[in-house]
Structure 1
Amino acid sequence: MSVPAVPGVITADQVVATARSIAAVQDDEGGVPWPEGHIDAWNHVECLMAMTAAGLRDEARRGYGWLARHQRRDGSWPMKVVNGEAVERGGESNHAAYVAVGVWHDLLVTGDEAFAASAWPMVSRALNFVVELQTARGEIVWERDAHGVPAAYALLTGSSSIYQGLRCGVLLGERLGDPQPDWELAADQLGHALAAHPEAFADKSRFSMDWYYPVLGGAVRGPAGDKRLAEEWDTFVVPGLGVRCVSDQPWVTGAESCELVLTLDAMGDRERALRVFADMQHLRHEDGSYWTGWQFVNEKHFPHERSAYTAAAVILAADALSGATAGASIFRDTGAYDIHITDDCGCEHARA
């Protein structure tokens, strides 16, 4: 298997060093924590995908073992786990859905169908948890709390990631001979809500993720994706530095920068993707890890930490740009679906 490298920006050896910086913070169970010590399933999966892409298969598989041990009966994971114990017990829908992306990615990269089959019950329980949180309009609320009560609202970024999770889950089920038409229908309904019903989601527009994630997740592509990216480009992109986390602070972050790289690559905009990827490399530490962010007025790293999830986003962006692994197009490919609405919701977009 080739290791991702982007000529003039990052070498294969540097990518491996970055992957090893992720493995270095894995706990004894295989969990990959945030710098402050908690683990959540979404960022954990992102780190496993990155280690898989960089050739650290054993470390990634230990991480999938962590997921299997911590999944609950309803298919969810606790929002936060510290030292093996749940400290925030609600279950987030986007955390559960991303496990499908991780297992599908592992199969694409390694070709190990036996592992995918062993993980399939975990993925199935996770996505069934997710679709139970879908509203009649199509959006998926962001959590079920510790008492089992669904949230009153949905999040645009989370639902965009869930859209990708559902599409990957459908592909995985088809590969393993267990098709899931209900997930496909849920993806269509969610995709329609993402593309046509901004009122379905809580307003988090100051965050750059709400700007690019509908495109990254695959629900909004083509001319609509181009239009969306153009509308807030100058708000969030800081030339030479990367992408702001929020619109109202002079703070660029490595993970958001690399997710925009993945978004641009998915849209076929390689030139800008390479530029943003090169711009964010000032966050690289000499050991291969990455600072979470840079406050460019104070000229200080903020927060003063290096995060595994940032390193993971760098590796996945490098893979997308280099095409080194068979999983390099996993973000690009989720935009390849026509969204079919079987029950007309009555809006102009659906009638068209």
Structure 2
Amino acid sequence: MRRLPEVGGIITAEQVLQTAESIAAIQEPDGGVPWPEGHVDAWNHIECLMALTVAGLTEEARKGFDWLVRHQRPDGSWPRKLVRGEPVETAGESNHAAYIAVGVWHDLLITGDEDFARRMWPTVVRALDFVVGLQTRRGEILWLREPDGTPADYALLTGSSSIYQGLRCGALLAERLGDPQPDWEVAADRLGHVIAHHPEAFADKSRFAMDWYYPVLGGAVRGEAAHQRLDEGWATFVVPGLGVRCVSDQPWVTGAESCELVLALDAVGRREEALRVFADMQHLRHEDGSYWTGWQFVNRRHFPHERSGYTAAAVILAADALARATPASGLFRDAGGHLVRAVGECGCEIARA
């Protein structure tokens, strides 16, 4: 029987299961896991499926994967937002598409069900081919493509950092299934180089905490550069006793950002800090096991006044990483285990060298 995550003194195995059940409780009959306002997007949906899998709610997770198969479009993308199965924002985001590889690889690590991975493989291939089709000559990946085929004219650092992990997981999955995809590996190398060395390639979203820690979380930045990056943003985003600000200019901490920072810290060996942040954000826990999205600490009220599945999912994934409970608990630690080789056509000194 699989061991549930338990982080001593912070969260019990029973509480982790209760949190997973709070995600299952909001799952719609067709398998979608919506935001509190009612829409489903592929990235947050997949994160919730990963949390369900960690907790052993495999049937509910598989129902969610079936939702992804049904709603994927021929070009490999998903609509940005769907409400009750109907698209309401139709552009396809590159980071949404890439995360299916993370979700399927995560499922395989935990369940060992290679037959399921093979059934999902065509969905993964279409999705990552869509993603690679949005890569520029320099190496960054544009953040979306409109329904008429028009690509966005800029890239996002957080999205590209998540895509980097998606491409690496896709390559690992391809190797396991005997269908190598060298184009994905080259694309990941080029993208990793740009994330690590070319901040000018991305739109300036530096007020958001995600742009601070996501290059570390996704695995593109490791070693001393990762520690320096985390140190430089710490005072800006971390509020002792409460968690992590969503944006630098507002007195507002959020559970998802706090737990993603926990994962980034754990990934580079900063376990004590990870445990401290994880403990600090537990004030957002509701008695039913769900989690409030955030806390406005000047007004001293939950903001927005909602409890979100994706926040609960981030808590479970962070607990698993800290507890080393499942075979996928190292998913984010392992994301940085690749030597970036090719660097594309950016023309910088590193590339020329």
TM-score, normalised to structure 2, is: 0.99
Segments of 5+ residues of structure 1 without an aligned counterpart are none
Paired with 1:126 and 1:306, the residues of 2 have a C-alpha distance of 30
Contact 1:94–1:142 (CA under 8 A) maintained in structure 2: yes
Q: Which residue of 2 aligns with 1:89?
A: 90
Contact 2:34–2:40 (CA under 8 A) maintained in structure 1: yes
1:275 deviates by: 0.2
Determine helix, strand or coil for the equivalent of 2:26.
coil
The amino acid that maps onto 1:221 is R
Paired with 1:351 and 1:247, the residues of 2 have a C-alpha distance of 36
Matched, 1:131 2:132: yes
Contact 1:166–1:184 (CA under 8 A) maintained in structure 2: yes
Q: Which residue of 2 aligns with 1:249?
A: 250
Determine helix, strand or coil for the equivalent of 1:286.
coil
1:1-16 matches, cutoff 5 A: 1-16=2-17
1:267-286 matches, cutoff 5 A: 267-286=268-287
Q: Which residue of 1 aligns with 2:169?
A: 168
- In structure 2, the CA distance between the partners of 1:344 and 1:94, relative to structure 1 (3 Å rule), is closer
1:137-152 matches, cutoff 5 A: 137-152=138-153
Segments of 5+ residues of structure 2 without an aligned counterpart are none
Paired with 1:21 and 1:193, the residues of 2 have a C-alpha distance of 39
1:299-310 matches, cutoff 5 A: 299-310=300-311
Matched, 1:158 2:146: no
Contact 1:81–1:88 (CA under 8 A) maintained in structure 2: yes
1:343 deviates by: 4.6
Paired with 1:171 and 1:74, the residues of 2 have a C-alpha distance of 22
Paired with 2:95 and 2:293, the residues of 1 have a C-alpha distance of 21
Moved over 6 A (4+): none
Paired with 2:215 and 2:115, the residues of 1 have a C-alpha distance of 32
Q: Which residue of 2 aligns with 1:196?
A: 197
- In structure 2, the CA distance between the partners of 1:20 and 1:343, relative to structure 1 (3 Å rule), is closer
- Per-residue CA deviations over 1:317-338 (Å, capped at 9, x if unaligned) read 0000001000000111010111
Contact 2:138–2:345 (CA under 8 A) maintained in structure 1: no
Paired with 2:268 and 2:323, the residues of 1 have a C-alpha distance of 15
Paired with 1:267 and 1:147, the residues of 2 have a C-alpha distance of 41
TM-score, normalised to structure 1, is: 0.99
1:345 deviates by: 3.3
1:342 deviates by: 5.7
The amino acid that maps onto 2:8 is P
Paired with 2:251 and 2:198, the residues of 1 have a C-alpha distance of 30
Contact 1:283–1:291 (CA under 8 A) maintained in structure 2: yes
1:348 deviates by: 2.4
Contact 1:211–1:228 (CA under 8 A) maintained in structure 2: yes
Paired with 2:104 and 2:30, the residues of 1 have a C-alpha distance of 18
Paired with 2:187 and 2:351, the residues of 1 have a C-alpha distance of 16
Paired with 1:7 and 1:348, the residues of 2 have a C-alpha distance of 47
Paired with 2:249 and 2:346, the residues of 1 have a C-alpha distance of 36
Determine helix, strand or coil for the equivalent of 1:211.
helix
Paired with 2:99 and 2:4, the residues of 1 have a C-alpha distance of 23
Paired with 1:344 and 1:189, the residues of 2 have a C-alpha distance of 9
Q: Which residue of 2 aligns with 1:338?
A: 339
1:344 deviates by: 5.8
Determine helix, strand or coil for the equivalent of 2:236.
helix
Percent of aligned positions with the same letter in both sequences? 75
- In structure 2, the CA distance between the partners of 1:188 and 1:287, relative to structure 1 (3 Å rule), is same
- In structure 2, the CA distance between the partners of 1:200 and 1:110, relative to structure 1 (3 Å rule), is same
Paired with 2:324 and 2:68, the residues of 1 have a C-alpha distance of 28
> Which moves more between the two structures, 216-225 or 336-345?
336-345
The amino acid that maps onto 2:287 is E
Contact 2:138–2:344 (CA under 8 A) maintained in structure 1: no
Contact 1:216–1:266 (CA under 8 A) maintained in structure 2: yes
Paired with 2:259 and 2:147, the residues of 1 have a C-alpha distance of 33
Paired with 1:209 and 1:295, the residues of 2 have a C-alpha distance of 18
Determine helix, strand or coil for the equivalent of 1:175.
helix
Contact 2:139–2:344 (CA under 8 A) maintained in structure 1: no
How many matched pairs? Answer: 352
Determine helix, strand or coil for the equivalent of 1:334.
helix
Paired with 1:200 and 1:35, the residues of 2 have a C-alpha distance of 33
Q: Which residue of 2 aligns with 1:217?
A: 218
Contact 1:344–1:351 (CA under 8 A) maintained in structure 2: no
- In structure 2, the CA distance between the partners of 1:263 and 1:343, relative to structure 1 (3 Å rule), is closer
- Per-residue CA deviations over 1:187-239 (Å, capped at 9, x if unaligned) read 00000000011000000000000000000000001000001111110000000
1:347 deviates by: 1.0
Determine helix, strand or coil for the equivalent of 1:90.
strand
Q: Which residue of 2 aligns with 1:34?
A: 35
- Per-residue CA deviations over 1:217-264 (Å, capped at 9, x if unaligned) read 000010000011111100000000000000000000000000000000
Paired with 1:344 and 1:182, the residues of 2 have a C-alpha distance of 15
